[in-house]
Structure formats: C-alpha cells, structure tokens
Amino acid sequence: MTTVEPRRDVTELSSTGDDAVATAPRIVNGLTVRPRKKVNLWPYGLLLLPDFAVPLVIAGLGMRRLLRYLDANRPKES
C-alpha cells in the first residue's frame, strides 16, 4: 500500500516585495508550479447582456469612474 505525502512547500521564500520573487515559479513536492493568471470576466459578461442593458451598464460604470475621479481631486481640508 502506498502512502501519500502531505503537500509541502520547498521554496519558502520570504516576501520582500520583489517582482522577481513574486513571479518566480514555486517548487511543490518536486514539481514546478506557476501562479495562475487572473482572468477578467467583465468583457465576457457584457457579451451576454441584452441590447437595452448595455447603455445602462456603460452609464453606471462611467458615473462610478467620474465620482472616483472627483473624490481623488477634491481639495484637502486643512
């Protein structure tokens, strides 16, 4: 009967904030493992919207962006 080894992380590197360390592949149980790429699902979700909803979504996103811009450029209170 074979035993299954627990998963262990061989390259336990300290996180220094370097981009090279963050994108470097990790070695787990002797196998090279790269982090998964994040997928943005918004473009695919917009394709599934009905035609009349697209302008509403665009207007909502534009309003949100405008409010964030105005909030960031607000004069500081002293």
Residues 6+ apart with CB under 8 A from 30: 10
Q: Which residue has the higher pLDDT, 34 or 12?
A: 34
* pLDDT above 70 (res 8): no
pLDDT for res 5: 61
pLDDT for res 65: 94
Helix (H, G, I), strand (E, B) or coil at 28: strand
**Sequence ranges of the domains in the chain:** 42-72
> How open is the CA angle 50-52-55, to the nearest 5 degrees?
110
Q: What is the pLDDT of residues 23-76, one digit of tens each?
A: 677 888 888 888 788 888 878 877 888 888 888 888 999 999 999 999 888 887
pLDDT for res 77: 75
Mean pLDDT of 12-32: 65
